[in-house]
Amino acid sequence: MNVGVAHSEVNPNTRVMNSRGMWLTYALGVGLLHIVLLSIPFFSVPVAWTLTNVIHNLGMYVFLHAVKGTPFETPDQGKARLLTHWEQLDYGVQFTSSRKFFTISPIILYFLASFYTKYDPTHFILNTASLLTVLIPKMPQLHGVRIFGINK
């Protein structure tokens, strides 16, 4: 056993979003995604904003709300393998700063996408549907709930 190299967290998945620089890295990643989409010649600015929003929300849904378990060996007797990353975040405590950040960030991206698409009905519907797919699972009332047996 290597003394001094073990982490003190029972489940490191619970605190990873609070680590130093995580929010900046997240914002820079979204910005980089948008710049890459803008650099594709046949994408207009509204299409690039809508794609940025939809890809971001799809990724957020998959990584925070669909995938269950943890990549670490945890001594919690299998409790973490039944929870999504969002449910493990901050030990399930609601309204922490990291939960607020990851709730507000898709809303801000939605407002930006709506503004730059000039509220075009097609883009607006796509952006709104995409936003709702990541906001509804974040509601405190749905903590641990599996609707229609999805992700059971």
- How many angstroms separate the Cα of 123 from the Cα of each of 24, 56, 128, 129? 27, 15, 8, 10
Nearest-Å Rg of the Cα atoms of the chain is: 18
Q: Domain spans of the chain?
A: 16-144
Residue pLDDT tens, the chain, 152 long = 455 555 566 677 777 787 888 999 999 999 999 999 999 999 999 999 999 999 999 999 999 888 887 776 666 666 777 788 888 888 778 888 889 999 999 999 999 999 999 999 999 999 999 999 999 988 888 776 766 566 66
Q: What's the sign of the alpha-carbon dihedral 80, 86, 89, 94?
A: negative
DSSP 32-62: HHHHHHHTSTT--HHHHHHHHHHHHHHHHII
